[in-house]
């Protein structure tokens, strides 16, 4: 039995600690993380080990040598270009002539590998994934197995709505050498993205072994610190190579401690550390080799690497410090701050909470540092939410913020790409648009200013002008704290993918921008898109029927853009538009119907000639009826009632059930110039065409739409419990008909219920449909109660 230790990672999310240190070399209780991996393999009789290298390979080679000092044999394989997890293993193919285990050099675990290997043998598996349960599975591959342990479903880095379990892939695999035949040479290939999904598709013997014990993927600064605290608490079954002089107080050799020093466990103190008079070392502090803490200083939850010197009367609380750092006297270091190698912090300075200082920086005396140097700090949550990037105008969304954001966006685009920009008429939105333009152009990206507009206009402009993407800025309603939304769109006019969002977020957090005086983008003004959009829209209408009908509409909309935008269109169609609040009354105004247009231009609400609002399901039915002559394929979310699917099929429209996200629905008809469910003006015009053709008022047409009994409930659930809840719902639903397109949809004799974890908030959405309103309510309440119990 052989092993492959994956040790090529850069550890981007651990910066600045990993700026000059490979991720497997970050110390855990004064020993490199990878040393624990080597010892685990040796403990289970695996001594012939390949090590894959890429980032700073010599640091790892020099530290571990041939492995003889650890009682193992190490053979190194270096990548000149990134090969992915599977490609890295393929690079070791000459070495892997028998069964082998793949394990990461930057995880901490005490799993029983012998049991995992025995399971693999018993199942005669081609590959066995070692699995565990975690609270938040978003950054891992979620796995579902049948009773025998065979993997039946696998999804890498899901959104919350896709999380069907809290059981995840640890990145540890037992493989037969035949696995290598499925990996191309010298090509970037990933086990979880390509190899294992292929095995699943081809029904190869792919199994999952549910391990028990401790496992931590050292992927972030917070997790890195917690792993050390877990070691101190004895939660990991590993040997701590230090003397325990008192309960959970560990000292290595030649430690010099003044008699007045106060130690409060659990703490770990490395070799030849000197603690001077009056020093207080509080719980969960780790001090690396050859470090000095001067008199009167106080450490609490402090993690210090080797050769760090702390001055007198300094307070370090919850801070992580790299190697060879000089801290002056009377310095205060805040919670969550991280200081890179070889920095010098002047006396009486204050480093505020969460600040990150990259290596080789010097902070002057009495300085107060409130922002990170040189790179930005990782946000407490993702920049992108369900509807784009959202924040309070000129408080959270500022010109400075969008300038950095645009530079991060440009980093992932080829030089000379064309990006379209539009904004609502609000002055601040227009101001931010200019900040975006300037930043994109300075990053070598051409910008196309579409002027005042909305999202459907931006989509139309991107497609018609051949742009690589676009951004729309929208100020929300006054009641919503003047929030600004930035929506990013790709070259097909769709909301960008989560992968694209992650790339922008990573570039933003790391400030990895590219700017050059020799490669500047150009600014283009293009204000003809509205006219082109209108012409294209009119060409798809039953113009004569609408003109003959002479519709009278009451329209509630944004007052500065829409009336100007719609006037030429209504003039062509012979439509009389009255702009005002729906509260003024459709009947009182003698209108044929009332229309409320959302500010983003994507959605609308409809009211009959009697002023009765259409439900979500009724509006969707009318939109399907109206678009049927022109659209023969449509995406309906899994949350939509079955009657709408039947209606579409009667109209000979192909229905594809999708996730509830707008992108998923829009992808189904990506080639269409207008989307009836995400273009409010187009949708309204098609509905007018439909009403004109049928020569009936909206209210009477609703009578022919079958009734749908739906219920929607919101159930609170902490983030840490979401994965567990999804797993319990699946376990409790065994034997029932399930749909896992988005969330978990459970069918029974009374209808169906959809359990959907929210991506942004700590709650679940429960959506149900029943034969009666009472049945739907009972179904939703039943699952809402279960979700609360599972927590």
Contact between residue 100 and residue 120 where contact means Cβ atoms under 8 Å apart: no
Reported as type and span, the H/E element at residue 132 is: strand 127-133
Asked whether residue 691 falls in the same domain as residue 713, the answer is no
| Residue 662 phi, psi dihedral angles, 5° rounding | -55, -40
pLDDT at 374: 57
Instruction: Evaluate if residue 749 carries a pLDDT over 90.
Output: no
The stretch 677-687 carries a mean pLDDT of 94
Structure-token match 């429209």, residue found: 653
pLDDT at 162: 62
CATH code of the domain covering residue 551: 3.40.120
Asked whether residue 569 falls in the same domain as residue 480, the answer is no
pLDDT at 672: 87
Give the Cα separation of 628 and 624 in Å (integer).
6
How many CB atoms are closer than 10 A to CB 738? 15
Alpha helix ranges (H) inside 594-718 = 616-627, 642-650, 662-667, 680-694, 698-702
Return the structure tokens found at 79.
């990548």
In 3-state terms the chain splits into helix, strand, coil percentages (rounded to 5) of 30, 30, 40
- pLDDT tens-digit readout, 316-355: 999 999 999 999 999 999 989 999 999 999 998 999 888 8
pLDDT at 380: 38
pLDDT at 365: 85
Q: Does residue 437 belong to any structural domain of this protein? A: yes
Asked whether residue 213 falls in the same domain as residue 73, the answer is yes
Domain boundary, last residue among 314, 340, 369:
369
The stretch 247-256 carries a mean pLDDT of 92
Contact between residue 334 and residue 353 where contact means Cβ atoms under 8 Å apart: yes
Check residue 657 and report its DSSP letter.
Answer: E
**Between 758 and 275, the higher pLDDT residue:** 275
CATH code of the domain covering residue 768: 3.30.310.50
Q: Does residue 377 belong to any structural domain of this protein? A: no
- pLDDT tens-digit readout, 620-668: 999 999 988 888 899 999 999 989 989 998 999 999 999 999 999 999 9
Q: Does residue 233 belong to any structural domain of this protein? A: no
Asked whether residue 718 falls in the same domain as residue 677, the answer is no
Which residues 6+ apart lie within 8 Å of 68 measured at CB? none
- pLDDT tens-digit readout, 6-39: 988 777 788 889 888 899 999 999 999 999 999 9
Give the Cα separation of 755 and 162 in Å (integer).
11
Instruction: Evaluate if residue 502 carries a pLDDT over 80.
Output: yes
The CA–CA distances, whole Å, from 53 to 12, 25, 90, 261, 358 equal 16, 12, 13, 43, 24
- pLDDT tens-digit readout, 571-585: 999 999 999 888 878
> What is the rounded (10 degree) CA torsion for 459, 465, 466, 472?
-30
- pLDDT tens-digit readout, 56-82: 888 998 889 999 999 999 999 988 888
Instruction: Evaluate if residue 307 carries a pLDDT over 80.
Output: yes
Alpha helix ranges (H) inside 539-615 = 543-549, 562-573
Q: Does residue 453 belong to any structural domain of this protein? A: yes
Give the Cα separation of 100 and 180 in Å (integer).
11
**Between 362 and 375, the higher pLDDT residue:** 362
pLDDT at 494: 94
Return the structure tokens found at 72.
């193992």
Which residues 6+ apart lie within 8 Å of 160 measured at CB? 138, 722, 757, 758, 759
Instruction: Evaluate if residue 381 carries a pLDDT over 90.
Output: no
The CA–CA distances, whole Å, from 645 to 400, 701, 768, 770 equal 47, 18, 16, 16
pLDDT at 163: 60
Compute the half-sphere exposure of residue 631: CA atoms within 13 Å on the CB side of its CA.
27
Give the Cα separation of 671 and 696 in Å (integer).
32
Check residue 191 and report its DSSP letter.
Answer: I
Going 171 to 172 to 175 to 181, the CA torsion angle's sign is positive
Average pLDDT of the chain to the nearest whole number: 89
Q: How many domains in the chain?
A: 5
The CA–CA distances, whole Å, from 218 to 174, 226, 629 equal 21, 9, 55
Domain boundary, last residue among 682, 702, 722:
702
Asked whether residue 47 falls in the same domain as residue 181, the answer is yes
Asked whether residue 38 falls in the same domain as residue 136, the answer is yes
Asked whether residue 588 falls in the same domain as residue 637, the answer is yes
- Weakest-pLDDT range from 130-134, 290-294, 750-754, 773-777: 130-134
Which residues 6+ apart lie within 8 Å of 642 measured at CB? 769
Categorize the per-residue pLDDT at 147 as very low, low, confident or very high, splitting at 50, 70 and 90: confident
CATH code of the domain covering residue 96: 3.90.550.10
Q: Does residue 592 belong to any structural domain of this protein? A: yes
The stretch 171-197 carries a mean pLDDT of 89
Asked whether residue 673 falls in the same domain as residue 570, the answer is yes
Q: Which domain holds residue 646?
A: 543-702
Q: Does residue 760 belong to any structural domain of this protein? A: yes
pLDDT at 379: 37
The stretch 589-594 carries a mean pLDDT of 90
- pLDDT tens-digit readout, 701-747: 888 888 889 999 999 988 878 888 988 898 888 888 998 888 999 99
pLDDT at 382: 72
Asked whether residue 697 falls in the same domain as residue 719, the answer is no
Asked whether residue 190 falls in the same domain as residue 265, the answer is no
Q: Does residue 398 belong to any structural domain of this protein? A: yes
pLDDT at 193: 84
Instruction: Evaluate if residue 160 carries a pLDDT over 80.
Output: no
Contact between residue 141 and residue 156 where contact means Cβ atoms under 8 Å apart: yes
pLDDT at 625: 92
Return the structure tokens found at 639.
């949350």
Exposed, middle or buried, 239 (CB in 10 Å: 0-12/13-18/19+)? exposed
Domain boundary, last residue among 651, 677, 702:
702
Cα angle: 469, vertex 474, 480; to 5 degrees:
145
CATH code of the domain covering residue 419: 3.40.120.10
Check residue 296 and report its DSSP letter.
Answer: T
Q: Which string of b and e fits 553-567 if b means at least 16 CB within 10 Å?
A: bbbbbbeebbeebbe
pLDDT at 478: 58
pTM over 0.85: no
- The phi-psi region of residue 81 (left if phi > 0; otherwise alpha if psi is between -120 and 50; otherwise beta) is beta
Asked whether residue 631 falls in the same domain as residue 490, the answer is no
CATH code of the domain covering residue 298: 2.160.10.10
Asked whether residue 155 falls in the same domain as residue 296, the answer is no
Q: Does residue 211 belong to any structural domain of this protein? A: yes
pLDDT at 218: 87
């Amino acid at each position: 039995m052989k092993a492959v230790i994956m040790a090529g990672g850069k550890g981007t999310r651990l910066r600045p600690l990993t700026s000059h240190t490979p991720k497997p070399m970050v110390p855990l209780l004064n020993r490199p993380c990878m040393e624990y991996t080597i010892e685990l393999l040796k403990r289970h009789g695996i001594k012939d080990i390949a090590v894959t290298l890429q980032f700073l390979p010599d640091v790892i080679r020099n530290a571990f040598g041939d492995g003889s000092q650890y009682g193992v044999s190490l053979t190194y394989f270096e990548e000149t270009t990134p090969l992915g997890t599977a490609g890295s293993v393929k690079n070791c193919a000459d070495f892997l002539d028998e069964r082998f285990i793949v394990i990461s050099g930057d995880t901490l675990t005490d799993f029983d590998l012998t049991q995992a290997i025995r399971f693999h043998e018993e199942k005669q598996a081609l590959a066995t994934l070692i699995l565990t349960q975690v609270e938040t599975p978003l950054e891992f591959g979620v796995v579902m197995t049948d009773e025998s342990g065979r993997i039946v479903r696998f999804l890498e880095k899901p959104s919350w709505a896709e999380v069907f379990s809290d059981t995840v892939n640890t990145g540890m695999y037992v493989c037969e050498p035949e696995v290598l035949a499925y990996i191309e040479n010298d090509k970037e290939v990933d086990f979880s993205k390509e190899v294992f999904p292929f095995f699943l598709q081809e029904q190869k013997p792919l199994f999952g072994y549910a391990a028990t014990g401790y496992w931590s993927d050292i992927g972030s600064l917070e997790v890195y610190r917690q792993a050390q605290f877990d070691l101190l608490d004895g939660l990991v079954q590993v040997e701590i190579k230090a003397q325990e002089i008192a309960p959970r107080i560990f000292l290595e050799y030649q430690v010099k401690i003044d008699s007045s020093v106060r130690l409060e466990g659990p703490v770990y103190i490395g070799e030849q550390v000197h603690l001077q008079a009056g020093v207080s070392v509080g719980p969960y502090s780790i001090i690396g080799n050859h470090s000095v803490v001067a008199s009167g200083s106080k450490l609490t939850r402090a993690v210090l690497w080797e050769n760090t010197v702390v001055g007198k009367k300094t307070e370090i609380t919850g801070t992580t410090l790299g190697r060879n750092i000089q801290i002056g006297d009377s310095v205060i270091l805040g919670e969550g701050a991280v200081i890179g190698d070889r920095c010098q912090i002047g006396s009486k300075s204050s480093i505020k909470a969460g600040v990150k200082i990259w290596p080789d920086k010097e902070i002057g005396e009495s300085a107060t540092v409130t922002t990170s140097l040189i790179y930005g700090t990782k946000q407490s949550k993702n920049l992108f939410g369900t509807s784009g990037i959202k924040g309070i105008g000129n408080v959270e969304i500022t010109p400075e913020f969008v300038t950095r954001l645009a530079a991060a966006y440009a980093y992932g685009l080829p030089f000379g790409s064309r990006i379209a920009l539009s904004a609502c008429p609000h002055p601040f939105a227009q101001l931010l648009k200019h900040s975006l333009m300037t930043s994109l152009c300075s990053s070598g990206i051409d910008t196309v200013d579409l002027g005042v507009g909305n999202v459907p206009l931006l989509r139309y402009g991107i497609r018609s002008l051949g742009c690589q993407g676009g951004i729309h800025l929208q100020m929300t309603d006054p009641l919503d704290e003047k929030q600004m939304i930035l929506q990013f769109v790709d070259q097909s006019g769709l909301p960008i993918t989560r992968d694209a969002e992650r790339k922008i977020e990573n570039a933003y957090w790391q400030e990895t921008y590219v700017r050059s005086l020799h490669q500047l983008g150009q600014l283009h003004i293009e204000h003809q898109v509205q006219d082109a959009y209108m012409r294209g829209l009119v060409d798809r209408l039953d113009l004569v029927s609408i003109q003959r009908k002479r519709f009278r509409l009451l329209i509630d909309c944004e007052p500065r853009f829409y009336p100007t935008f719609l006037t030429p269109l209504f003039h062509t169609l012979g439509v009389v538009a009255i702009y005002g609040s729906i509260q003024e009354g459709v009947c009182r105004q003698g209108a044929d119907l009332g229309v409320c247009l959302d500010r983003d231009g994507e959605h609308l609400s409809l009211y009959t000639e009697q002023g009765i609002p259409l439900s979500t399901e009724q509006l969707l039915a009318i939109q399907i009826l109206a678009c049927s002559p022109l659209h023969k394929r449509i995406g309906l979310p899994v949350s939509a009632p079955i009657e709408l699917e039947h209606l579409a099929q009667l109209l000979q429209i192909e229905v594809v059930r999708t996730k509830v996200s707008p992108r998923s629905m829009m992808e189904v008809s990506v080639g269409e110039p207008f989307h009836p469910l995400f273009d409010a003006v187009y949708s309204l015009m098609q509905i007018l065409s439909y009403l004109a053709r049928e020569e009936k008022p909206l209210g009477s047409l609703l009578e022919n739409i079958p009734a749908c009994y739906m219920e929607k409930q919101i159930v609170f659930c902490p983030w840490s419990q979401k994965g567990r809840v999804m797993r319990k719902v699946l376990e409790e639903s065994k034997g029932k008909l399930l749909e896992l397109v988005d969330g978990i949809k459970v069918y029974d004799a009374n209808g169906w219920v959809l359990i959907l974890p929210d991506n942004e908030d700590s709650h679940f959405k429960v959506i149900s449909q029943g034969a009666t309103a009472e049945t739907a309510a009972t179904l939703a309440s039943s699952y809402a109660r279960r979700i609360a119990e599972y927590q």
